[in-house]
Amino acid sequence: MNTENAVAAATQFDIDQIRQDFPILHQEVNCRPLIYLDNAATTQKPQSVIDALTHYYEKDNANIHRGIHTLAERATAAFEETRQAIHRFINSNEPEEIVFTKGTTDGINLVASTFGRMNVQEGDEIIISAMEHHSNIVPWQMLCEEKGALLKVIPVNDRGEIILEEYKKLLSDKTKLVSIVYVSNSLGTINPVEEIIDLAHEHGASVLIDGAQSTAYLDINVQALNCDFYVFSGHKIFGPTGVGVLYGKRRHLEKMPPYQGGGEMIKSVSFEKTTYNDIPYKFEAGTPNIADVVALKAAIEYINQLGKSAMQAHEESLLTYAHERLADVPGIRFIGTAERKMNVVSFVFDDIFHFDIGQMLDARGIAVRTGHHCTEPLMNRFGLEGTIRASFAIYNTKEEIDQLVEGLNRIVTMMRR
């Protein structure tokens, strides 16, 4: 975003009103006003999402697709309206390319268990990066062990950036799949996914993008990206937990076998043969998480109402301010200083254990995340057990960052006496 656009967007961003939309923020934790800086783990929910969830259970609760009574028809309509909203939100080619899952992890496992088992054979290769979440490591390890395939890892530099030249060396005609995170949950690094996708396709490989951390703020256009699969979670975009999205190109989804068996994913069943349903229902066995899918639409509408340009401008201003203010804390060492990054500041103090700092900040009502952030191999790359991670969202303020800095200054002074 250029400077003029950022300034214009910021002037349209009413932070006081936005904070009013999130009821959880208006409480005290340990006798202090809550400062929630753990948004990379999960985002808080606006009242409109909570209302949508309550409305479904109060007015429309019924099973979907098969019922002909009024409640079933209303529930079905609301469920499918969310699919349409996501189709528009990420610009898939058609709504049928949108599959509802339990979350990002479930989406990756679905692809590994279906597309992966179909297309990866002994001697083939899968490429991931050194900054992946465990959810984008373990399913591919399991597949490689089952198939006798090889898992290759793109290294990262000291700034926490993928080394593209090394990635190019890893690619070959044996590469069947590249699975890469768009934005690192532990460092905030924004990866050059467009180039990663293009290079993989040149070698005939398919690409999955883990969009868990990118979908709320970055403009996502899966057709322009030309990725084969894209996965994200509702709870990372101000929606409910327990619901996620898998986008897949139709040509892949139609060839992939069902992930689970049961109701809804069938057209007909006999003891001799079962005929499977069309996409996306082929991958949505059983009664889905209807209420949370319905409420996810409210989260998307909330983001659309605010506008991603304004959200990005606010988030960028918080990130810049946080780096500037935190740099003055004695002994702080930043982990992850990529040129392109978003809404995450990860840091350590070499003489104070990260867990202790997290607990002492919590005593001041400040919620941050400590540990390896489900990226243990990445922490090993930096020789760390874990970091302190502050991650920001649309309802955070510079005043909250000031409180974080004040808390850290007090803690390090006390611990070094």
The catalytic residues are 374
Whether 343 and 40 have beta carbons less than 8 Å apart is answered as yes
The DSSP annotation for 53-86 comes to HHHIIIII----SS--SHHHHHHHHHHHHHHHHH
**Closest among 356, 402, 376 to 186, alpha carbons compared:** 376
Type of residue found at 346: S
Environment class of 183 (CB within 10 Å of its CB; exposed 0-12, middle 13-18, buried 19+): buried
End-to-end CA distance of the chain: 44
Whether 37 and 396 have beta carbons less than 8 Å apart is answered as yes
The DSSP annotation for 150-195 comes to EEEEE-B-TTS-B-HHHHHHH--TTEEEEEEESB-TTT-BB--HHH
SS3 13: coil
Token representation of residue 335: 């982990």
Q: How many CA atoms lie within 13 A of 177 on its CB side?
A: 30
DSSP strand pairing (175-181 vs 125-129): parallel
Q: What DSSP state is assigned to residue 142?
A: H
SS3 content of the chain, % helix, strand, coil (to 5): 45, 20, 35
